[in-house]
Structure 1
């Protein structure tokens, strides 16, 4: 499938600030499931460093703006060819050992309820059948957390989302990572774009899903929010131990001002 992306992030400051420095993880991953045809990340007045590849195989660029900064407009546009690899992250180069992703953060730390959910899901499935156990946990998370925008926030933890039984893709992803780690399967958070949901209904184009490390297959994606594995409708940007680490845009600003943020994302399919 050929997908085009238009992603605009706008920051507005009540009073000008002295400096903005951001780390951008906004370049599509390089692996067998997708091929970038063209891609631009533009910021008027911004200065970009040379891109580099981090240990997880993600492309990172630093952007900075100096002086009296009143606004930051980040425009991402591009076209990507994708193919369905049933969720397997094939031919992706990285050097971080999977065991690193057995570590949890505040967002992904499993509490007693998450551990119970995971244990019940994998009950009766041999430990050697890791792929089956991963699918079972993804289904359990989907059943345990109903997709409901506006019920959680950026800092909601996996444990809090499960207790509420409501959430969005970020919450499903954190919860699945927590469940996986609780049974000894490395898990990580992936950020990217989605053309449509599993039933073909238009979906919020910025999206997140989990990757679990399955011995013999490597990293495999699981989108609990849509009860599927990533296919040709998904564009992968990058990964991290949780939503903060995998965020497409991270940064700091110098100066005192209230910040207003607006994000619009559109992903469309192109006739080939």
Structure 2
């Protein structure tokens, strides 16, 4: 699948800030399932700093905005070719050992309910089957409901209320997978469409679980599937905060508000529609 992505993030401050420093994880991962073209990252009024590939295989680049400013825009545009690898992360180079992802965080810390959910999955044939069953259990336990949780909502809190978004599904799956001895991590990226085919107008997130013989395999409990050609992988971490596409700090006392707009388009479908309209 050929996708065109436009992602704009606007930070606004009620008082001017200065010396804003950002660390951006906004470049698609390099592996067999995707290849990016014409990928451009721009920060309004910013100065691009050095970039590097970290131990998880993610490309990180730094930007600085000297200011003073009351608004900063981070814009990403590019094209990418994707193909379905059944969720398996083939050809991705990284240095961190999978066992490093057995460590819990505040967002994924297990309570009694998460432990009960993890223990409820039985009779798995192998680690891959166990991962699939755990993902299905999380899908059943947490209904997809936008606007019911916040960025700082934990896996335990989302499970307690039985509702959440992709971030909550990923955190819960990471938690129960680690409880069952499977290394698991959070993945940030984009999704061209949800499982039913409707447009997905936001950045997306899912989990990867390390299983025997295959390595890292993606699972998306929010859509009850493994990542396919509709998914674009940006980067990973222990949880949403660790894997955040944009992290930053600024000098100043201004309160911050955030607006995000993401558009992921199927290039071939757009071309077909354009040809059809031209012929008609």
Q: Same fold (TM over 0.5)?
A: yes
Deviations along 1:61-81, one digit per CA (max 9) or x if unpaired, are: 011111312210111000000
> 3-state SS of the aligned residue for 1:67?
coil
Q: For residue 162 of structure 1, give the secondary structure of its aligned residue in structure 2.
A: helix
3-state secondary structure, aligned to 2:254: coil
CA distance in 2, matches of 1:134, 1:99: 16
The residue number in structure 2 matching 1:112 is 112
Aligned partners of 1:169 and 1:208 also within 8 Å? yes
The alpha carbon displacement at 1:166 in A equals: 0.3
Task: Measure, in 2, the Cα distance between the counterparts of 1:65 and 1:19.
Answer: 6
Instruction: Find 2:228's aligned residue among 216, 226, 231.
Output: 231
Alignment of 1:12-27 (within 5 A): 12-27=12-27
- Deviation by residue 1:214-244 (Cα, 9 ceiling, x = unmatched): 1110000000000000000000000000000
Matched, 1:62 2:59: no
> Which residue matches 2:216?
219
Q: Verify: 1:160 aligned to 2:149, yes or no.
A: no
| Cα distance in 2 between the residues matched to 1:85 and 1:7 | 25
Q: Decide whether the 8 Å contact of 2:20 with 2:67 is kept in 1.
A: no
Alignment: residue pair count: 269
Stretches of 4+ aligned residues off by more than 4 angstroms: none
Q: Matches of 1:207 and 1:44 in 2, distance apart?
A: 24
Question: Residue 88 of structure 1: SS of its match in structure 2?
Answer: coil
| C-alpha displacement of 1:17 | 1.2
Q: Which structure 2 residues correspond to residues 88-167 of structure 1 after superposition, within 5 A?
A: 88-121=88-121, 123-126=122-125, 129-167=126-164
- Partner residue of 2:207? 210
In the alignment, structure 2 segments of 5+ residues that lack a partner are 272-280
Corresponding position: 1:255 with 2:252: yes
2:71 aligned with 1:71: yes
CA distance in 2 between counterparts of 1:201 and 1:93 reads 33
CA distance in structure 2 between the partners assigned to 1:171 and 1:80 by the alignment: 27
Looking at structure 2, the residues matched to 156 and 269 of structure 1 have their Cα atoms a distance apart, in angstroms, of 32
Conservation of the 8 A alpha-carbon contact between 1:177 and 1:210 = yes
- Are 2:124 and 2:133, in contact at CA under 8 Å, matched by a contact in 1? no
Deviation string 1:103-149 (CA, Å, 9 cap, x unpaired) is 0001011111111111112x1224xx000000000000000000001
How far did residue 249 of structure 1 move?
A: 0.2
1:191 Cα deviation after fit: 0.1
* 3-state DSSP of counterpart to 1:50: strand
**Larger mean Cα displacement after TM superposition, 167-176 or 200-209:** 200-209
What secondary structure does 2:120 align onto? helix
Query: How far apart in 1 are the matches of 2:118 and 2:139?
Result: 12
TM-score normalised to structure 1 length: 0.97
SS at match of 1:108: coil
Superposition CA RMSD, Å = 0.9
